[in-house]
Structure 1
Amino acid sequence: MNGARVGLDIGGTKIHGIAIGPDGEVLAEERAATTLGGEGVVKSAAAVVASLREALDGGEIGSIGVGIPGIVDTRAGTVKHAVNLGLDGDAFPLAELLGARTGAVVTLENDTNAATLGAHAVEDVDDLIYLSLGTGLAAGLYLSGALRRGFHGAAGEVGHLPVDPEGPVCGCGQRGCLELVASGAALAAAWPTATGHPAAALFAAAAAGDPAAVEVRDRFANGVAAAVRALALAVDPERVVIGGGVAAVGEPLREAVAVALTRQAETSPFLASLELASRLRVVSAAPVAAIGAALITPITSATPTITPTITSTKD
């Protein structure tokens, strides 16, 4: 395939776009606010593509990959139930409309799956779980060298695993789901802050010795560890990469989850033998969602190795 491959990570507030060359080098990067609604999403995505094309001095764009929340039909190029984007009706033909606006072939993928492909590219392992700690809690599975989407596209929806039968009702209709404890939204609700990122504020306060912050941090880390444990016991991956908005905390997040995993294994020689804490990584500066979006596009050559920064400290 000739030309750069563009990846768009479309979220409810912003679109992050990158252009990747044939050798895997990131050639250009752009961010812009997302305009909600069908026409708004197409228009704002097309504007990011135009900015990338300009940054490439008018160079050819071979294809565009899009990572987007919601239920994605990759074959049809449609998305539905992306409520945070104002796309909560029938299947929306984003690939067709964005392709017509940009003159390039467009391929869609669920945003967590796209980020999983990006995490695979930077980690370069064939068995990997990408655990996204964003507004919700979800995982992408890259197993034996391929994405595992599931029969209904629900593989990795660990956030909707009920863990507390007496807990509050989740948005999915079940009671006491793990997402209500171990997600960015759950953390923000437990540690509200008027300014800045709630996760950063929480971990800073906990590091300073605030007892209340330590309690909230540990409860959150225990929930994330429970998600890691459930996924690891199901598919036994070589690596678990934590991403999403909370991952901006970096190494302190990995340490807290590693400590929780170790404590949870103290009474189980079986769990201890799996050394789950040593498999953890936390995404740092690598734009894995946009990288993965670029890599979902149809290609005729081997996938290049991408090497942005990612934390890799082991216990």
Structure 2
Amino acid sequence: MRVGLDIGGTKTDAVAVADDGTVAHTLRLPTGFGPEAVVATAVEAVQRVSDATGTPVADFASIGIGIPGAVDPRGRVTHAVNLGLDDLGLGEELHARLGRPVRIENDVNAAAVGAFHLRGLGSGQSMAYLNLGTGLAAGLVLGGELWRGVSGVAGEIGHIPVDPSGPLCPCGQRGCLELYASGSAVARQWPSEDPLPVAALFAAAASGDPDAAAVRDRLLQGVAEAARLLVLTVDVDDVVIGGGISRLGEPLLDGVRSVIARWEAVSPFVASLGLAGRLRLLPPDFPAAAVGAALVGDPEAETLEVV
């Protein structure tokens, strides 16, 4: 039994993954804010999974955690602003409290592993996970293995500038892709009090609101550009779209494919990529980051050859 946690800004999802790769148990609890609260949340989640499955913590095959921010190989988390973490040795803290090693991974990377597992792809196949949430980022599984890059920034495509004269990005550059294709981009360009602002944007655009339509179209263009960038860079079998915006479902996918169709009409090269056929949506209720964390927590599962 492997345990995985997805620690988000407001909630933490936890799963137990059985030997056959199936999810045996799930739970959700609120995430605390600040170093001590985040550590306490993680400990509580592991203990609750232990109680629910009747498995002592010491008997779990592995424990892994996906969390926002930069994560180094020792499990130190930095720049997780939404969790109130500037610099926290999360791996060491949890090892001390749980009495066993805990593997820490960036949440988008963990979700990429979970999506790869769900797709049932083999060790020789590759996939990009495109996370569309408050920001935009990707996780890469290449040849069946998670690719982090030399410094762990592989997949940070949201901070590739696509318009040098565009607005200033919090990263210090101008016109980054994330400024056009993310939840924060929608909030900046089309403010709304609706609890589902991107769904409200699409509804307003469909009803004929020209401002909403313009923002929607920029979003779809940006997502299509992100998918094209991933395919041209690493030529993956699949681009799986997840994150909060992916819950729009088929309207999102159809809109992105329409953008790609326009490119294909004028570019035989783009048409040769079969880009639209590589796009997939992550099922909305699949806890990809928690499942992926459970898998990356186990060094023997690093090749992801899980049934």
Alignment of 1:126-141 (within 5 A): 126-141=125-140
Q: Deviations over 1:74-122 (max 9, x none)?
A: 2x1211111221111x4x2111211222334310111111011011101
Match of 1:117 among 113, 133, 141: 113
Match of 1:105 among 88, 101, 105: 101
Find the residue that maps to 1:172 and give its secondary structure: coil
Find the residue that maps to 2:65 and give its secondary structure: strand
Match of 1:82 among 62, 80, 83: 80
Is the Cα–Cα contact under 8 Å of residues 62 and 105 in structure 1 kept in the other structure?
A: no
Alignment of 1:178-257 (within 5 A): 178-257=177-256
TM-score of the pair, normalised by structure 1: 0.90
Deviation at 1:215, TM superposition (A): 2.5
Deviation at 1:208, TM superposition (A): 4.2
AA aligned to 1:273 is S
Aligned to 2:297: 297
Deviation at 1:196, TM superposition (A): 1.9
Identity %: 53
Q: d(CA) in 1 for partners of 2:257 and 2:156?
A: 21
Q: In structure 2, list runs of 5 or more residues that go unmatched.
A: none
Is the Cα–Cα contact under 8 Å of residues 144 and 304 in structure 2 kept in the other structure?
A: no
Classify 1:300/1:276 alpha carbon distance in 2 versus 1 (closer, same or farther; 3 Å).
closer
Q: Deviations over 1:215-236 (max 9, x none)?
A: 3211100011111111111111
Which one has a larger percent helix, Structure 1 or Structure 2?
A: 2
Q: d(CA) in 1 for partners of 2:43 and 2:170?
A: 32
Classify 1:305/1:203 alpha carbon distance in 2 versus 1 (closer, same or farther; 3 Å).
farther
Give the length in aligned residue pairs: 300
Q: In structure 1, list runs of 5 or more residues that go unmatched.
A: 307-315
AA aligned to 2:9 is G
Alignment of 1:17-28 (within 5 A): 17-28=14-25
Is the Cα–Cα contact under 8 Å of residues 24 and 304 in structure 1 kept in the other structure?
A: no
Classify 1:229/1:304 alpha carbon distance in 2 versus 1 (closer, same or farther; 3 Å).
closer
TM-score of the pair, normalised by structure 2: 0.92
Aligned to 2:65: 66
Q: d(CA) in 2 for partners of 1:27 and 1:193?
A: 39
AA aligned to 1:83 is V
CA RMSD of aligned residues (A): 1.8
Find the residue that maps to 2:240 and give its secondary structure: strand
